[in-house]
């Protein structure tokens, strides 16, 4: 991983909002609207979260998996890459990237246990084949910087550590959207702190250190 966000592949791959919201031609031909596209991604983000809770991985793995899934669909259509397979495969790939590996066999077992719908059920070979396709779609760039570290540092600097749990929850909620593909992680962290501080009518007791942005 790059020493800092600004030198990372994540920074170089930040997108404009209109690029993130572009519905690919194969999906348009099937009548998929922008709102439906957003809903599918939100549903898959929730699916990743629920599946991750069953296999018991860290929140960072979940966040990375969701970021992968959202990155994939800036380049590939829903028609080409079945989201019901992409979602668990992104979780599998993220678990390896974040050094919290889930065994493919275990993942398939829990998918079958959790999902009564046959359309969500896949075999190990399906996961492994889709993993290679996702790696290609991501151009093998697997680095994702998340808002969690800057959030903690900002809260410490501002003397607002009592807001950590609630602000952390807000950061988790941002993965229901495409913010991680558009904005630097520190900006997402600041926005979550601002929202929480405003709702609680709190004022930072100290200034924020610029070094945390590096």
The string of pLDDT tens digits covering residues 48-82 is: 999 999 999 999 999 999 999 999 999 999 999 99
C-alpha dihedral, 154 to 155 to 156 to 157, nearest 10°: 50
In 64-173 the beta strands, taken as DSSP E runs, fall at: none
Q: Which option is the CATH number for 14-137: 3.40.50.150, 1.10.472.10, 3.40.50.300, 3.40.50.720? A: 1.10.472.10
User: In the predicted model, is pLDDT for residue 112 greater than 60?
Assistant: yes
pLDDT for res 114 = 82
In a 3-state reduction of DSSP, which class is residue 195? helix
Which of these, 50, 56, 158, 43, lies nearest to 100 by C-alpha position? Answer: 56
pLDDT for res 211 = 46
* 172 or 116, which is more confident: 172
Q: Where in the chain is the domain with CATH 1.10.472.10?
A: 14-137
What does the block give as tokens for 118?
């046959």
- Give the DSSP letter of residue 117: S
Instruction: State the pTM of this model.
Output: 0.92
In 8-153 the beta strands, taken as DSSP E runs, fall at: none
In 1-137 the beta strands, taken as DSSP E runs, fall at: none
pLDDT for res 118 = 84
Rounded CA separation 125/67 (Å): 23
């Amino acid at each position: 991983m790059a020493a800092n966000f600004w030198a990372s592949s994540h920074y170089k791959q930040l997108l404009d909002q209109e690029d993130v919201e572009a519905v690919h031609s194969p999906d348009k031909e099937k009548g998929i609207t922008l709102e439906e596209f957003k809903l599918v991604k939100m549903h898959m983000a929730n699916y990743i979260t629920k599946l991750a809770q069953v296999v018991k991985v860290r929140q960072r793995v979940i966040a990375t998996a969701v970021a992968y899934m959202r990155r994939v669909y800036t380049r590939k259509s829903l028609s080409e890459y079945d989201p019901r397979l992409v979602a668990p495969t992104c979780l599998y790939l993220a678990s390896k990237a974040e050094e919290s590996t889930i065994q493919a066999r275990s993942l398939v077992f829990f998918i079958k246990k959790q999902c009564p719908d046959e359309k969500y059920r896949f075999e190990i070979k399906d996961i492994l084949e889709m993993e290679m396709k996702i790696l290609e779609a991501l151009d093998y760039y697997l680095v994702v910087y998340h808002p969690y570290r800057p959030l903690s540092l900002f809260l410490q600097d501002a003397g607002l550590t009592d807001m950590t749990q609630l602000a952390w929850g807000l950061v988790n909620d941002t993965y229901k959207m495409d913010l991680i593909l558009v904005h630097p992680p520190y900006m997402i962290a600041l926005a979550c702190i601002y929202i929480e501080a405003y709702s609680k009518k709190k004022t930072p007791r100290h200034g924020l250190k610029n070094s945390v942005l590096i």
